[in-house]
Amino acid sequence: MKKTKKRNKIFFKKGFTMLEMIIYMAMLGVISILITHSFMAMTKSFGAVKLSRDVNESALVAMERISREIRSAYDINTDDSVLGSSPGRLSLISLNDMGATTTIKLYMQGADIYVEKEGLFPEPLTSSSTLATGLIFNRIIASSTSEAVKLEFEITGSAGPVNRTDKFYNTIILRGSY
């Protein structure tokens, strides 16, 4: 008889006590909070990296195209240009494929940077996910034959609560001036 009472006591001891359940639930809650916080931090980091990539890619495309247009020009039309202030405007005199003189205009309108070739529609250089917040052209004359343009612009992007603004600089020498 003593053996059966012992077996019954062991059989009933297999469940959880209320204290154990509270401890397990608290541990589950803490682990859930940590996992949720980690997931939110990863999502925010991904958004910041994507935003940085968008801003840099937009600036790279704009910088490359503006640099190419300035390098191919042989003179600046200073009467039609706004130099040294933002928003700047640069009017370049270049040769087209047929060898005729053509005008190329680089400017900021609204929150986009545009290039406009004579007789063609303006083409935006910045992406729709970013905003151009500044564009400055400065003319540099090093000698009677050497001429360059110092370019400064600012690109801003936002993704939810994250904002990013970067400034970009370049100095480009005109083709006919070296």
pLDDT tens across 76-122, in order? 888 999 999 989 999 998 887 787 888 999 999 999 999 999 878 99
One-letter amino acid of 109 = Q
Mention every residue, 6+ apart, whose C-beta is less than 8 A from residue 79: 91
Confirm whether pTM is higher than 0.85. no
Output the pLDDT for position 19: 87
One-letter amino acid of 45 = S
Q: Where exactly are the structural domains of the chain?
A: 48-177
- Which token pair is 38? 């980690």
Residues of the chain with pLDDT under 50: none
Closest CA to 135 of 114, 111, 154: 154
Output the pLDDT for position 3: 56
Output the pLDDT for position 9: 56
Q: What is the CA radius of gyration of the chain?
A: 32
